Structure 1
Amino acid sequence: MRRSERFFWAGLALLLLVPAWVLAARHATFIEPPSRVLAALPAFLASADTWSNIGITLVRVLAGLGLGIVAGFIAAFVMSRSKFMGEVLGYYVVAALRTPSAIAAILALAIFKGSETGYILVVAFITFPYMAVGMRDGLNSADRELDQMAQIYHLGLFDQVRHVWAPFVAPYIFSSLRNAHALAWKVIVVAEIFGAARKGFGAKFEHAWEYMIMIDVHLWLLVFMAIVLIAEYGLIRNLEKYTFRWR
């Protein structure tokens, strides 16, 4: 399917949500009609306060996700190279996978007393196991004969990563990254709400909901959805296509 066709069908799918939104606004108390929300959107987007709060949450997500990716890669590498360490680290990975994001957020914010470190670490903790499992499966699927060949020709660590491991691990990385990225945005909102943050998306959404400013509730939800979709389809998917252009 060509890009123009994909954009057409994606736009049509979004437009089909408008009638459902209108119908819901007529029969629900706390849902504002699209006309009122869209009328308030230009002023909302023109506000510097909007973008500063989005930027704060974005930094928390990127820092936590980056830390989770690094920790996941290290854990995956160790688990794929050592059977004993694979079993030991496997317990921690499974425990992290099974920990509810709300509980992780509460614990991290309680330990670090609502500091920026707590927000970043809770995102890293939740995303780390997904990256570890995905990259471990990728490393385990790598051809061991190519690994032996790299050792015979005395390839350096950088060359081994680039020419031997990366081609096998890359599909698993992007698959895990999509899941971790989506989860990172969900958990940061939970963390900001439970942590009573003063700045950030979760803080502004909680404030609007507490005081029943429903227009702002809708606007923050729309912005949140737009950011996640842009990051997924505008950044991650295009980066994946660029990485696999050699195919």
Structure 2
Amino acid sequence: MSRIERLTWATAALLLLIPMWYLAADRATFIERPDDVLRALPHFLSQSETWTNIGITSLRVVIGLALGIVAGVIAAFVMSRSKFLGHVLTYYVIAALRTPSAIAAILGLAIFKGSEAGYVLVVAFITFPYMAIGMRDGLNSADRELDEMAQIYHLNLAAQVRNIWAPFVAPYIFSALRNAHALSWKVIVVAEIFGAARSGFGARFEHAWEYMIMIEVHLWLLVFMAIVLIAESGESRLELKA
């Protein structure tokens, strides 16, 4: 599918939501009309507080996701190289994969008492198993002749990773990264709400919902959807290039 076709289908999908939104607004008291929300959007985006809270949540996602990627890559290499450690780590990876996001958020915030480390580590904990499994599958499917080639040319570990393994497992990495990134945004909002954060996307959303400021609730939802869709579009392009 070409870029123009994807853009056309995406636009059509968004336009179909508008009549459904109007219909829902007429039938529910807690749903605002699209025109009211869109009129408030310019002022909402012009406020520095809006971008400050978006930046705080984004930073938590970036740091947590980076930690999850590093932990997942290390775990994948260990699982693919050592049979004994592979069996041991697999249990931890599966346990992390099966842990509900809400439970992980509550436990992480309780252990770290709502500190910044708690938000970051919750994201890392939830995203790391997706990276570990994706990388492990890529490494396990690799041709063992690649190892022999590295030995013939006497490549050190850094050269092997850069010139042999990274190009081979890149599609697996991007596939796992898409799942991990989408999940990281969901879990950070849950963590910010459960952790009673004073700043960030989840904190402002919870404040607006608690005081029934429904226009602001809708605005934060629109911002959240826009961020996720933009990130998804960028990751799709990178994956196609890989």
Give the TM-score of the pair, scaled to structure 2. Answer: 0.98
Alignment of 1:64-83 (within 5 A): 64-83=64-83
3-state SS of paired residue (1:16)? helix
Q: Which residue of 2 aligns with 1:197?
A: 197
**AA partner of residue 176 (structure 2):** S
**AA partner of residue 195 (structure 1):** G
Alignment of 1:63-102 (within 5 A): 63-102=63-102
Distance 1:117 1:86 in 2: 28
Q: Percent identity?
A: 78
Distance 1:113 1:240 in 2: 38
Q: Quote the offset at 1:156 in angstroms.
A: 2.0
Asked if the contact 1:141–1:168 (Cα under 8 Å) also holds between the matched residues in 2, the reply is no
Q: Quote the offset at 1:35 in angstroms.
A: 0.6
**AA partner of residue 20 (structure 1):** M
**AA partner of residue 31 (structure 1):** I
Q: Which residue of 2 aligns with 1:239?
A: 238
3-state SS of paired residue (2:186)? helix
**AA partner of residue 184 (structure 1):** S
Q: Quote the offset at 1:168 in angstroms.
A: 2.3
Alignment of 1:1-247 (within 5 A): 1-233=1-233, 235-242=234-241, 244=242
**AA partner of residue 186 (structure 2):** K
Show structure 2 runs of 5+ residues with no match: none
Asked if the contact 2:174–2:238 (Cα under 8 Å) also holds between the matched residues in 1, the reply is no
**AA partner of residue 82 (structure 1):** S
Distance 1:57 1:25 in 2: 29
Q: Quote the offset at 1:137 in angstroms.
A: 0.4
Asked if the contact 1:134–1:176 (Cα under 8 Å) also holds between the matched residues in 2, the reply is yes
Distance 2:237 2:174 in 1: 11
Calculate the aligned-residue CA RMSD, in Å: 0.9
Q: Quote the offset at 1:152 in angstroms.
A: 1.9
Distance 2:107 2:3 in 1: 44
Q: Quote the offset at 1:145 in angstroms.
A: 1.0
Distance 1:9 1:98 in 2: 34
**AA partner of residue 164 (structure 1):** I
